[in-house]
Amino acid sequence: MQKLVLPATKENMNCMTNFICDEARAFGFDYKSIFQIQLAAEEVLINVVNYAYPGANGDIEIRISPQENKEFEVKVIDSGIAFDPLAKEDPDITLPMEQRQIGGLGIFLVKKIMDDVHYNREGDRNILTFMKRLPPQGCIPKD
């Protein structure tokens, strides 16, 4: 397991996403999968930076655990206010833009491009986990 803990600030976003992408690259993902992982990571991390610690400072802990079943697991942990981003209903993307609710598209995107996403609250900590499976050797990932 690899771990990084930094203050939850916009200034640390690049460092956090680079950490995740470097580990994904070492795990063996192709460019497209790394881009998807980066996109998911940015969405999850910016939500923590913007909303977890209103009026206060706090940290983000990132744990990366490659699994034996070729899953790349990323846990984003914070001690901010309790919030389950997966509890909100998915946005209706078939509606015209002017009729859509504000917010929720980022997490919707994360759920679409990752193989698994789940949330749990342990004590005073939010834990959002997202996973991407490494495609079998010789297979071309589908779009």
Query: What residues does each domain of the chain span?
Result: 2-133
pLDDT range class, residue 60, cuts 50, 70, 90: very high
pLDDT range class, residue 100, cuts 50, 70, 90: low
Give me the pLDDT at residue 87, please: 80
Architecture label for domain 2-133: 2-Layer Sandwich (3.30)
| Range of lowest pLDDT (13-22, 48-57, 64-73, 81-90) | 81-90
One-letter identity of residue 139 = C
- Conformational region of residue 9, where left means phi above 0, alpha means psi within -120 to 50, and beta covers everything else: beta
- Would you list the DSSP string of 11-67? GGHHHHHHHHHHHHHHHT--HHHHHHHHHHHHHHHHHHHHHTSTTS--EEEEEEEE-
> What tens digit of pLDDT does each residue of 106-127 get?
687 899 999 999 999 999 999 9
Q: pTM (2 decimals)?
A: 0.85
Place of tokens 């929720």: 104
pLDDT range class, residue 66, cuts 50, 70, 90: confident
Closest C-alpha among 111, 113, 141 to residue 128:
111
Give me the pLDDT at residue 68, please: 76
What CA–CA distance (Å, rounded) separates 29 from 21? 9
